[in-house]
Structure 1
Amino acid sequence: MTRSRTVSPSSPPLPAAAPPGRGRARARGWALGSAALAMGLIAGFFYAYACSVMIGLARVDDRTFIDTMQWINATVRNQWFAPSFFGALLLTAVAVLLHLGRDARAVLVWSAAALLLYGAAFSVTMGVNVPLNEDLAAAGDPAALGDPAAVRAAFEDRWVTWNTVRALASTAALVCLLRALVLHGRAAAAAARNR
């Protein structure tokens, strides 16, 4: 036999969800802040390519373009890049998990939206940009290429287009995380006033 949750007009209202403890609230804030920092770094990374690097490289000859992109791709996987690229995904997922529950629905919606948006940017990187980088590396020494224009043509426009997509998606994810941080801050301030 199950108990009904129906509230009659004379019944007292159902209690609201209990506010999270201070430790949990701090963990939530830390996760959101760290996720926003990592997301800002990686969104800025993609943005820098979109608004400067690729525009500048569009003006160089084919062999210089290929050589430069090969060197960038060979050195980008480093200790400075990894924390933002992988950290944005991991920390946003942690923020989502910490906000599961009735007491943080508004923050959960925004942090989940950020996770979906950055998941799309991450997928574009792994599914489009990285394979293009690998194809460019496999082309070999630009000085020895018989048709560097064809190698560049197979890479440049597609890479630039999808970089713009991931820049927009990660920037939108950052906006969502910042909104989640604002909502978290308001909830924390309200909880502090009620103590």
Structure 2
Amino acid sequence: MTQAFRLTALLGLLLNGALFGFFYAWVCSTMWGLDAAAPEVAIRAMQAMNASVRNAVFAPAFFATGPVLLVAALLAWRSGQRALVAVLLALAGLVVLCGGTGLTMVVNVPMNEALALVTEAQIESGAAAIWAEYSAPWQVWNQIRTALTGLGLALTGAALLAARQAGA
């Protein structure tokens, strides 16, 4: 196993774990907590969280995981790894790109942007309906992207195990 492959694959594993963990935390705590709060509080908190997530700490996990895994797949193939290693990493990269980054950009981000446009007057007059219309579908799509990034993480781990078993 070349040093470049090792480092890239491990970076992909780390980034994938961070992304999966981020989505997973929304599944098992954040949204449940917001659903337990008053709807007007939940809306304002979600608006603030959505605005704050666009930052340099989160960006590498969100934008780089898929590409790093695809580069790791290419390096695995070029360094003479078993074909299985390259295929698993390529699948992981594609799953994360489509199911993590792509799904977020196509579904969750537009929902978040629509919520960001909700005014104080709208919150005061209909917070319960606004939150109910937002929270349930947002959570379904978040659970899907969580499962898919979890699959990407499992595929990445399986690729590293396959490379290790091959003695690389």
Q: TM-score, normalised by structure 1?
A: 0.79
Q: Say if 1:96 and 1:111, in contact at 8 Å, map to a contact too.
A: yes
Tell me if the contact between 2:95 and 2:149 (Cα under 8 Å) persists in the aligned partners. Answer: yes
Higher helix share: 2
| 1:45 alignment partner AA | F
Query: C-alpha offsets along residues 13-34 of structure 1, whole Å, 9 cap, x if unaligned?
Result: xxxxxxxxx6xx1111111100
Percent identity reads: 34
C-alpha displacement of 1:49: 0.5
The answer to whether the Cα contact below 8 Å between 1:66 and 1:142 also exists between their aligned partners in 2 is no
What 5-or-longer segments of structure 1 have no aligned partner?
A: 1-21, 191-195
Q: Shift in Å at residue 140 of structure 1?
A: 2.2
Match in the other structure for 1:182: 161
RMSD: 1.7
1:139 alignment partner, SS class: coil
The letter of the residue matching 2:76 is H
Distance 2:156 2:26 in 1: 22
The answer on whether the counterparts of 1:108 and 1:180 sit within 8 Å (CA) in structure 2 is: yes
Aligned length: 166
The answer for the alignment partner of 2:84 in structure 1 is: 106
| AA matched with 1:96 | A
TM-score normalised by L of structure 2:
0.91
Aligned to 1:128: 107
Structure 2: gaps of 5 or more residues: none
* Secondary structure of the structure 1 residue equivalent to 2:77: coil
CA contact (8 A) 1:67 1:141 kept: no
SS of corresponding position for 2:36? coil
Is 1:56 aligned to 2:33, yes or no?
A: yes
Aligned AA for 2:93?
L
Write the distance in 1 (CA, Å) between the matches of 2:90 and 2:122: 47
Q: Distance in 1 between matches of 2:135 and 2:123?
A: 19
Q: Which structure has the bigger radius of gyration? A: 1
